[in-house]
Amino acid sequence: MADNWVESTAGDLRRWAGEHGETLDEQGVRVLLGLVHEEMGLAGPGELTPDGLRALLLEVFPETVVAAGEDVPAVLDALRKIVAYLGKTGAVSEPAAAALAAEIDRTGPEFAEMVAAVDSEERQAAAEVIGGLIQADGVSLDDQEAVDAWVRGFEELPEAERYARTEEYLRRAGELAVPPVRPVPRAAVAAAARGSRLTSTILSLADWTGERALTEHDTLTEADAGAAAAALGLEVPRRYGQMEDEGELERLWWAAVEANVIAAEQGTAAQGPACDDLRSGDDEAVLAAWLPLFEAIVVPGHDYVDGLDAVELVQNEMTGVLIHLYEQEEPTEPEILAGALLGHIEEAYDLSDTEAMAALVWDALLLELATLEDWGIVEPSGDGCALTPLGVWAVRELLLADGFTAPLIGELAGSRASELIEGLTWYRPEAADEEIGGWLAANDPKDAAADLLDVMRTGGPGARNLAAAVLHRIGPEAAGVVRAAQEHPLVSPYAALWLNAVGDPSGRELAREEYLWVFVDTVAGMLETAEPEEAVEAALIDAPPEAEMKVMVDELWRTQHPGVADVLEALGAHHPDKATAKAARTAAYKARSAFQGAHRGV
């Protein structure tokens, strides 16, 4: 059957090689023929042209196959055997076979360079994933013996389990990422920590307590608690609406104990080592002592049972509220915080009366925000509230300790282009623009352009799109570097667009097939980080009118891009125009048919 030509050709080639005393990498041959059939849509190997062979090596193979630099000679040898077989058996003419062989010789060095670059990036990425898995299991990367033992154990796991664990790690790594924030000078953060009312209240509590006897549970006696509350001005509980925080002194006490500001053990209290650190003139000592205090205050960890005071319930969940504030560019209104908080509480706890709890949560949240404001952690801003610089620093430190990716604006200025592009994934548009500006200012324009073009050659669609966007921030002084990169199939259309934009004489209009390829590449890049509906919505902002869009969709399935079927399926599911969506679904079927047909014919 026509759909089974890969198997039949591989079998014929095996017999031909045997008859001529040739060694043959049969698996490698099948991979290459499969790419020609499934990814390039050719009806047989005889349809392969020099241009198609170049696209196979420089575009299709790197996008589809994971290979190491050491595999290149075997790949090229298998391809040469295929070409020799085609010429000797008359599947293509001798001149055509000679042209294909010459293209292999011409493209081979560039192919080897590309595979080596991709292999290096993949090895680095794999090492980062393995390192993350090791650390997630509580193994220090500095303990080589423990690392080696972990690796041996991981390699002994069934492949399916290794894959599942890696997938789960990557999923969590994506979830454990927050947008970048602007750094605050350490001296300013330390000054804020010293001036925080949380610091002064805790130190006052430690000074008042001094050395004294405690209860068997290492708490102040009832009489001492009353006296301490009066001395600290806490005898009248904080109140908002229906809620009253009668446990503030107890909360401060346990925070002071957990942060070693007060040493409480065996029924006796004394000042702990962190007490002097909080008073220190050394910024690092102050921050090192203040952070555990902050963590103890905002992560109380009450055991909730139905009927627990709503104040304690809200305090239990304040880390989520603080992270929400951390992630926002603008101050957040209390109503929004309360809605999100209540939704989480309803999912996390078994509440007997959700409606009554909603009113209590609202009052308790406002009471807690007022407390955190008094302690210098949050501040009012317009109709909402935001973290203070001290609060931003403290929340980020806790996020980092919990394994989050929490970048700072400006920290990518000295990075390589590949690190810049990878890091920008977590940036909001305004912050990304600032980060890109800092990176460009720190790099020579020609060097920056060359590094970005390397990313475009070796990265996926998302990296290529972002690198192209950064490249457009560079002026005509980099024209020579961009002109030299035009021959690479993954770069050529983007280079043409850039050269046109800077008014370079070598600029040209994109051919129709290049324009379609860039559209597919752009949407494929969006699909890497966005939901299909969001990617389609973003792609249609600059799309042509509906009539032209439908014509374009009808043509897209022929585009030689590995992601074309996924792009068409996304358009088919989410394009607002029914006719265009239907055309996209039909085109997606055509794009998938070669692959499906191959499986039906086996």
Q: Which domain holds residue 165?
A: 137-175
Is residue 155 one of the residues assigned to a domain? Answer: yes
What share of the chain in percent tops pLDDT 90? Answer: 47
Is residue 407 one of the residues assigned to a domain? Answer: no
pLDDT score for 602: 32
Query: Which neighbouring-strand residues pair with 263?
Result: 270
Per-residue pLDDT at 345 exceeds 90: no
Residue ending a domain, among 401, 430, 449, is: 401
pLDDT score for 173: 58
Is residue 163 one of the residues assigned to a domain? Answer: yes
Per-residue pLDDT at 357 exceeds 70: yes
Can you tell me the mean pLDDT for 574-578? Answer: 89
Tell me if 510 sits within 8 A of 496, measured CB to CB.
yes
Per-residue pLDDT at 401 exceeds 50: yes
3-class secondary structure for 109-163? Answer: HHHHHHHHHHHHHHHHHHHHHHHHHHHHCCCCCCCHHHHHHHHHHHHHCCHHHHH
Per-residue pLDDT at 319 exceeds 60: yes
Is residue 181 one of the residues assigned to a domain? Answer: no
Is residue 408 one of the residues assigned to a domain? Answer: no
Model confidence band, residue 439 (pLDDT cutoffs 50, 70, 90): very high
Looking only at the bridges linking them, the beta strands covering 262-265 and 268-271 are antiparallel
Find, among 418, 516, 414, the residue nearest to 460 by Cα: 418
Of all helices (H) and strands (E), which one includes residue 212? strand 212-213
Cα(314)–Cα(361) distance, rounded to whole angstroms?
Answer: 7
- What per-residue string of b and e applies to 169-204 under the rule 16 or more CB within 10 Å gives b? eeeebeeeebbbbeebeeeebbebbbebebbebbbb
Residue ending a domain, among 449, 475, 510, is: 510
Same domain as 315, residue 445: no
Can you tell me the mean pLDDT for 392-416? Answer: 91
pLDDT score for 178: 87
pLDDT score for 121: 58
Model confidence band, residue 431 (pLDDT cutoffs 50, 70, 90): confident
Per-residue pLDDT at 349 exceeds 80: no
pLDDT score for 163: 73
Same domain as 483, residue 390: no
pLDDT score for 189: 97
Per-residue pLDDT at 316 exceeds 90: no
Same domain as 245, residue 119: no
Cα(193)–Cα(232) distance, rounded to whole angstroms?
Answer: 19
Residue ending a domain, among 510, 526, 552, is: 510
C-alpha separations of 142 from 117, 135, 138, 146, 405 in Å: 28, 10, 12, 9, 21
Can you tell me the mean pLDDT for 196-205? Answer: 96
Same domain as 397, residue 351: yes
Query: Which is more confidently placed, 282 or 341?
Result: 282
Q: Which of 120-124, 202-206, 248-252 has the lowest mean pLDDT?
A: 120-124
Same domain as 306, residue 258: yes
pLDDT score for 593: 64
Can you tell me the mean pLDDT for 521-545? Answer: 87
Is residue 180 one of the residues assigned to a domain? Answer: no
Same domain as 242, residue 279: yes
Can you tell me the mean pLDDT for 459-466? Answer: 91
Same domain as 217, residue 89: no
Same domain as 317, residue 285: yes
pLDDT score for 124: 60
Q: Which of 337-351, 399-413, 530-544 has the lowest mean pLDDT?
A: 337-351
- The CA-based dihedral angle spanning residues 208, 209, 211, 216, taken in that order and rounded to the nearest 10 degrees: 160
pLDDT score for 599: 35
Can you tell me the mean pLDDT for 266-272? Answer: 93
pLDDT score for 172: 61
Tell me if 310 sits within 8 A of 360, measured CB to CB.
yes
Same domain as 540, residue 425: no
Cα(409)–Cα(184) distance, rounded to whole angstroms?
Answer: 10
Can you tell me the mean pLDDT for 95-110? Answer: 93
Same domain as 190, residue 319: yes
The number of domains in the chain is 5
Query: Which is more confidently placed, 583 or 393?
Result: 393
What share of the chain in percent tops pLDDT 70? Answer: 93
Same domain as 365, residue 227: yes
Same domain as 298, residue 217: yes
Per-residue pLDDT at 595 exceeds 70: no
Cα(231)–Cα(370) distance, rounded to whole angstroms?
Answer: 21
